[in-house]
């Protein structure tokens, strides 16, 4: 059963000479529980696609449904609340807050959602231990390796028990060995938590470990 449904999606950006189209009539269907990889050249629009799928950016035309929610029908406040509750993001650059510890960073979505301190701490600690950082709870990002920082980002992305995980080149800033370990962790968490995951990556070997691979080219998706 399809959980992510996209139809006729258009997205462009205003430039000096008009509008630069990025996504053009894009269609996509992702089954519940599926792990989908999206590949394509740099600058082709993979990040743009993930941003509009997750409600980080508005689109120009078309429809996006996540489960029974039509993103286009949500106002700004409702979109923020839905995104924080239902969508987990992992980016190429972890975007951790440097002044906070690993545990405090993992707690951030729960803090935004208004969860109590006891529940936040317990949930963040459980997640960080699960991703192999049980001995790094009080370390700030500057004290962690690149791979460890991304593991904190994975824990943060899963803190609100999202239905959908969106990962934008999550291993792009890591060496090959660390990238392979992180991708393995994403697959494990995907299975354990019953996620529907969409991963944009330029690494074809890692993409091949997903359930399905699509290529983004000229604003549309096709089988890779």
Whichever domain contains 180, its CATH number is 3.40.50.300
pLDDT in tens, 27-49: 999 999 999 999 988 888 999 99
pLDDT of residue 12: 92
**pTM of the entire structure?**
0.90
| pLDDT confidence of residue 106 | 96
> Which is nearest to 57 in space by CA: 98, 10, 97?
10
Cα–Cα dist 111/123, whole Å: 12
Domain count of the chain?
1
∠180-183-189 over CA atoms, to 5°? 140
**Helix locations, the chain, DSSP H:** 46-53, 76-86, 102-113, 117-130, 146-158, 176-192, 204-207
> pLDDT grade, residue 93 (50/70/90)?
confident
Quick check: is 136 in a domain?
A: yes
pLDDT at 159 over 80: yes
Query: Residue 146: its pLDDT value, please?
Result: 87
Whether 202 is in a domain gets the answer yes
- Categorize the per-residue pLDDT at 61 as very low, low, confident or very high, splitting at 50, 70 and 90: very high
For residue 196, being part of any structural domain is answered with yes
Domain carrying residue 123: 32-44+76-223
Mean pLDDT on 106-110: 94
Which whole number is the average pLDDT over 162-188?
A: 87
Q: Tell me the average pLDDT across 109-117.
A: 92
- Supply the pLDDT for residue 39: 93
Strands laid side by side in the 2-15 sheet:
18-31, 2-15, 61-66, 69-70
**Residue 70 is assigned to a structural domain of this protein:** no
Q: Is the separation of the CB atoms in 221 and 215 below 8 Å?
A: yes
**Residue 60 CB contacts under 8 Å (≥ 6 apart), including other chains:** 10, 11, 12
**Would 52 be classed as within a structural domain?**
no
Residue 176: per-residue pLDDT: 84
- Under the banding of pLDDT at 50, 70 and 90, the label for residue 194 is very high
Alpha-carbon span 211 to 171, nearest angstrom: 18
Write down the pLDDT at residue 180. 86
């Amino acid at each position: 059963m399809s959980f992510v449904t996209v139809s006729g999606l258009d997205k462009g950006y205003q430039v000096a000479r008009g509008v630069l189209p990025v996504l053009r009539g894009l269609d996509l269907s992702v089954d519940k529980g599926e792990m989908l990889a999206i590949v394509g050249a740099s600058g082709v629009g993979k990040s743009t696609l993930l941003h509009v799928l997750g409600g980080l950016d508005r689109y120009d035309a078309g429809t996006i449904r996540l489960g029974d929610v039509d993103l286009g029908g949500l106002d700004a406040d409702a979109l923020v609340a839905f995104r924080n509750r239902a969508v987990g993001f992992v980016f190429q650059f972890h975007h951790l807050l440097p002044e906070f510890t690993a545990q405090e960073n993992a707690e951030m979505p729960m803090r935004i959602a208004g969860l109590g301190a006891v529940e936040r701490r317990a949930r963040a600690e459980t997640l960080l231990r699960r991703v192999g950082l049980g001995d790094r709870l009080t370390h700030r990002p500057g004290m962690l390796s690149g791979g460890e920082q991304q593991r904190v980002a994975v824990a943060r992305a899963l803190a609100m028990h999202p239905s959908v995980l969106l990962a934008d080149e999550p291993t792009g800033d890591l060496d090959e060995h660390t990238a392979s370990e992180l991708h393995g962790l994403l697959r494990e968490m995907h299975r354990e938590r019953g996620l529907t995951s969409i991963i944009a990556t330029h690494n074809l070997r890692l993409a091949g470990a997903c359930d399905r691979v699509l290529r983004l080219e000229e604003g549309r998706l096709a089988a890779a």
